[in-house]
Amino acid sequence: MHQQQRDTVLLILLLFQSHRAKNYPPGPRPIPILGNLLLLNLENPVADLQRLAKRYGNVYTLFMGPRPMVVISGVQAIKEALVNKAADFSGRPQGLMMNHALQVKAPGVVLADYGSAWKEQRRFGLMALRNFGLGKQVMEHRILGEIHRITQLLEQSVGKSTDLHQLFHKAASNIICQVLFARQFDYDDEFMEFFTLYFSETSKMLQGFWGTIYDSVPMLRCLPLPFQRVFDLFKMARERYSVVLAESKVSRVPGKPRHFIDCYLDELDKRGADGSSFTEDQLCAFMLELHFGGTDTTANTVLTGLLYLMNYPHVQERCQQEIDKVLDGRMKPVLKTETRCPMCRLSFMRSRGWLTPSLSVFSTAPPETQSFWDTPYQREPLSSLTCPQYYAFMPFSTGPRICLGESLARMELFLILVTLLRKFTFVWPEDAGEPDFTPIFGLTQTPKPYRVKIQLRGAA
């Protein structure tokens, strides 16, 4: 009996053994079923990925369960893959939790595999976003209007300790909603409350512990484990987008688009039944991706920036001095002044650099990046205004898959942070203890919840 049990175990191990193909880069030896999962902290694997890069080099193989994954680390290797060999590295993996949650009826764009349909959808997306103000003054006015609402709410909290996490998610969501639906929502609106919760929960889950378990151990996918919550949230999100789409179809005037939805519906009318990649299901998937990407990353970057500026008050003060000098006498900041604010640009750039580019590229800081970043592992937001490191700065990824909304995100971050620093000083509360800079890992790295004390600047 014991011999039979041993034979059974050996057979199972043999069947589930992970094999590295001959042309794969080196990496740690995987074990059956689990692969290399035991080498990683699944709550936040970034430090483990950096440790493995030191041992195996900037390109190595890691098995997530039975599935091999090639990890690319370091500026030169990432540029070589995503730019010089873009056609080979612009695909997207299939069969993961993100695919099953997002691509229920249509492939969308972010997770769609590289090909003619993806190119067609991306080309249309760029055109439509530009038509509705991306990178233009009209978008600047929309952003400043939302910032005015933020400052009014912050004025009510002057002298108090407050949590700003939901505020910035709702503000960023409202900005992209103006492009997608031509609508602004009250911050206590049910639509806004739901999507704030939805973005926060799904971002953490999709690439957190339970997302990794789902992707790595397929036999567990049908069990009632916590990752099932993600599918419920995505279903509820799609239902809300379907309502917005139905309302837009009733009120639209063909040929006179008011927003992204109308523009897409006009394109559908133009193409008819030509067998193209344009469908209403694809529109809903596209809306979801733009809304998600336009909210979560921007809000988390602002929150990360404030966290560091509070804990390095001398940097915050230098930024404020620069803002006062450049905007002297001007009622509102404008984007064209960005080049005259090198201190602010570098500080904000540092904040974005601490976030992980979403979906496909792990942002790590191997030793050779010290030639690009003065202090890659330290918390100091900057050590000088010398900035040769733009080449190494890729928070929006790079190559053909570079973020669709990069110009919108850059515009939002500059205008929000400059406006807030001009009017307020942000202070780490005395009773808050030591700050914890360790982020919560997810599609983007989210700063852990913290409170901030807001002071009105005397010169503002």
Q: Which residue from 398, 420, 450 is spatially nearest to 155, judged by alpha carbons?
A: 420
Which tokens sit at 227?
């990752």
Which tokens sit at 126?
């760029």
**Residues 6 or more apart in contact with residue 295 via CB below 8 angstroms:** 169, 172, 173, 176, 195, 199
**Residues 6 or more apart in contact with residue 412 via CB below 8 angstroms:** 143, 172, 175, 298
Rounded Cα–Cα distance for residues 47 and 310 (Å): 25
Q: How many CB atoms lie within 10 A of CB 86?
A: 14
**What is Dmax (Cα atoms) for the chain?**
88
**Residue that is written with structure tokens 């509820």 in the block:** 236
Rounded Cα–Cα distance for residues 389 and 25 (Å): 28
Alpha carbon 31 to its chain's center:
32
**Residues 6 or more apart in contact with residue 319 via CB below 8 angstroms:** 309, 341, 343, 344, 347, 421
Task: Work out the burial of residue 330: count CB atoms within 10 Å of its CB; fewer than 13 is exposed, 13-18 middle, 19 or more buried.
Answer: exposed
Which tokens sit at 434?
């030591």
On whether the CB atoms of residues 347 and 311 are closer than 8 A, the answer is: no
Binding site per annotation, positions for heme: 403
Q: Sign of torsion, CA 362 368 374 379?
A: positive
Binding site per annotation, positions: 403
Question: Which stretch of DSSP H or E encloses residue 454?
Answer: strand 452-456
**Residues 6 or more apart in contact with residue 36 via CB below 8 angstroms:** 27, 28, 30, 62, 63, 64
Which tokens sit at 211?
């997302």
Rounded Cα–Cα distance for residues 368 and 111 (Å): 31
Q: Which residue from 204, 159, 168 is spatially nearest to 187, judged by alpha carbons?
A: 168
In 296-394 the beta strands, taken as DSSP E runs, fall at: none
